[in-house]
């Protein structure tokens, strides 16, 4: 698929560890996206301090401003995250809590794609539905299907190369990105 106008997406990664399977998946996305689509990694959620309203009263951290600005300027957001204890990792929730308090919430009206995985078979499905619930209060518009839930993710990515090695997984991620870009265009067609 070739799109008519460039689409700029930003990516929020829910894992901090260097050997993260989700980091590998995230790195692979530009190659799996339709031509004309850019996907840029936002700053690390690990660089954002714990949410504290007292800190907010002194001024938002620069890392929050930068992330919020990146999201606001993008055509859409892709969240790639593992599941922790049947929900989203706390460090990701912390970033979303900060972003939600910015004077102009950057997620409002923003198309959002969610991708998850797990070494296990449930593939982060429970985290996806918790994340959808969080996104309701942020007024984001979450894309639904085709979904990306990668079971056995440890066997389907090459961490060193930052690639997805499983052909079926590459295919359904590509299908998801193509449909997501169409969703983004329907929500705010570029002239
Ligand atoms: C996990 N893991 C996990 N997996 C899952 O499918 N459901 C879950 O609820 C949890 N819970 C959980 C909690 C915590 C604290 C950790 C550290 C891990 C396993 C998780 O999917 C696995 O560690 C992934 O490899 C994490 O993703 P990255 O860091 O490889 O991208």
Domains of the chain plus CATH, in order, are 7-187 (3.40.50.360)
Give pLDDT tens digits for 107-165. 999 999 999 999 999 999 999 999 999 999 999 999 999 999 999 999 999 999 999 99
8 Å CB contact between 82 and 47? no
| Nearest residue by C-alpha to atom 26 in ligand 1 | 82
| Alpha carbon nearest to ligand 1 atom 17, residue | 84
| Separation CA 170–CA 164 (nearest Å) | 6
pLDDT of residue 20: 98
Dihedral in degrees, nearest 10, Cα atoms 127, 15, 182, 8: 150
pTM above 0.95, yes or no: yes
Pocket of ligand 1 (CB under 6 A): 15, 17, 20-22, 82-86, 118-120, 122, 124
Smallest CA-to-CA distance from 23 within 51, 46, 49 is with 46
């Amino acid at each position: 698929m070739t799109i008519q106008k460039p689409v700029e997406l930003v990516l929020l990664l829910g894992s901090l560890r260097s050997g993260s399977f989700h980091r590998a998946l995230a790195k692979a996305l530009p190659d799996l996206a339709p031509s004309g689509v850019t996907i840029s990694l936002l700053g690390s959620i690990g660089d954002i301090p714990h949410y504290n309203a007292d800190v907010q009263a002194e001024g938002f951290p620069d890392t929050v401003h930068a992330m919020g600005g990146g999201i606001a300027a993008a055509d859409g957001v892709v969240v790639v995250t593992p599941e922790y204890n049947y929900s989203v990792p706390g460090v990701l929730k912390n970033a979303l809590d900060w972003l939600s308090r910015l004077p102009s919430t950057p997620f409002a009206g923003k198309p959002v794609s969610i991708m998850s995985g797990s070494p296990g078979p449930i593939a982060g499905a429970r985290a996806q539905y918790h994340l959808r619930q969080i996104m309701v209060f942020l007024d984001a518009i979450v894309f639904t299907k085709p979904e990306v839930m990668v079971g056995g993710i440890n066997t389907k990515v090459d961490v060193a190369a930052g690639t997805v090695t499983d052909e079926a997984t590459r295919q359904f991620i590509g299908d998801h990105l193509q449909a997501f870009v169409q969703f983004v265009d329907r929500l705010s067609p570029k002239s």
